[in-house]
A = this chain, B = another copy of it.
């Protein structure tokens, strides 16, 4: 596969995470790569193509990470923490989450992008639901809500945590991050 194509997706993703889907243009990408705007259209005829490719690439990266953690026999706690650490990295880089970024612009996205986005969120939620469920059985987690609801809460805290941290202060994300871990840490019996 083409290296230029990969770089376009990479830069496109970075721009979605920093400026939002409607906040960047093909020119922004071509300028960074030192090529012409038309060269970007050569790989991605329309912005819709680029948008879906960005989401698909992201979703694929997620699946690879999950597969990798499974094959390394990560327990549920470590899997969740690894996932959450992706957000710590985003916070350091002043980026937000792809889901939160596109969640803002969802009404301006064409159907194919919208569907890809929904698919990815569904996938992450159900992955986390299973993870929480299994982890609780093992006593690694403790919570009272249905596992899917707990997953929704964790994802929401991560997504808006990054957004709030970019408005306020990076340290505010760390606060939220810590609180998530505390929320599901098993409490000693009294």
Stretch at the interface among A4-12, A18-26, A75-83, A129-137: A18-26
Other than the given A23-B107, A145-B179, 5 more pairs (CB < 8 A) read A22-B23, A121-B164, A156-B157, A157-B157, A160-B160
Q: Size range of the interface on A? A: 35 or more
Say yes or no: B153 contacts A176, CB within 8 Å: yes
- A99 near B159 (CB under 8 angstroms)? no
A151 to B86, CA, bound (A): 24
For A145, list chain B residues within 8 Å (CB). Answer: 179, 182
Q: In the complex, what residues of B have CB within 8 A of residue A118's CB?
A: 167-168
Chain A, 159-183, contact with B by CB distance < 8 Å: what is the 0/1 string? 1110110111000100110010010
A interface residues with partner B (beta carbon < 8 Å): 18-20, 22-23, 94, 96, 99-108, 117-118, 121-122, 125, 145, 149, 152-153, 155-161, 163-164, 166-168, 172, 175-176, 179, 182, 190
Chain B residues lying within 8 Å of A102, measured Cβ to Cβ, are 167
Q: 18 A–B contact pairs at CB < 8 A?
A: A20-B108, A22-B22, A23-B108, A94-B107, A96-B103, A100-B100, A100-B160, A102-B167, A103-B104, A104-B105, A106-B166, A106-B167, A145-B182, A149-B179, A156-B157, A156-B160, A158-B160, A159-B164
Task: List the 6 closest A-B pairs by CB distance, nearest first.
Answer: A103-B163, A160-B160, A156-B160, A104-B104, A22-B22, A159-B160
What residue of chain B has the Cβ atom nearest to residue A101's Cβ?
B104
Contact between B23 and A103, CB atoms less than 8 A apart:
no
Please, how many angstroms separate the alpha-carbon atoms of A107 and B103 in the complex? 17
A144: nearest chain-B partner, CB-CB: B182
